[in-house]
Amino acid sequence: MTDEHEESETHRRATEIAAGLAHLEGPLLPILHAVQHEFGCVPEDAIRAIAKVLNLGRAEVHGTMTFYPDYRQEPGGARTLKLCRAEACQSMGGDALADEARRILGIDFHETTADGALTLEPVYCLGLCACAPAAMLDHEVHGRVTPETIGRLATGVGA
């Protein structure tokens, strides 16, 4: 933990970001987005900085951050593979798809491959129910994904 007199570079930069957006109505979510964009995550030093700028408790900032699944406290992989876990995708083979992705990657949901290449995340609807099961690689959605084709998405081959 840093001494108040020895603020980290993360704390300093997060303070700048928060101060620059504090004028917005409901500034916490935009600040969290901006901080995550800057650092690839919302580290503890940034949570402290945001709380101080907005005159909130750290628990309130942390609680808001952890409520939304797209915020993270640790950096993710270079790419993100999201698998839909909603009912339509579940009914069309989503469990087998998730099992195959975890097997191929050797990781579970909310984890990143050892080489830092890919993070696997659950998502609870991609809006592609008619083409279930669905996945999203970075910001590109894919429908009618099968256990056979998930490997191409997970490894980037033919994705």
pLDDT digits (tens, 9 = 90+) for 27-69: 999 999 999 999 999 999 999 999 999 999 999 999 999 998 8
5 confidence band (pLDDT: 50, 70, 90): very low
pLDDT average, residue stretch 95-122 = 94
| C-alpha–C-alpha distance, residues 3 and 132, integer Å | 51
Cis peptide before 69 (omega within 30 of 0): no
Out of 3.40.50.300, 3.40.50.2000, 3.40.30.10, 3.30.930.10, select the CATH number for domain 79-155. 3.40.30.10
- pLDDT single digits (tens) 123-155: 999 999 999 999 999 989 999 999 889 988 888
Assess whether pLDDT exceeds 50 at residue 93: yes
Q: Domain locations in the chain?
A: 9-67, 79-155
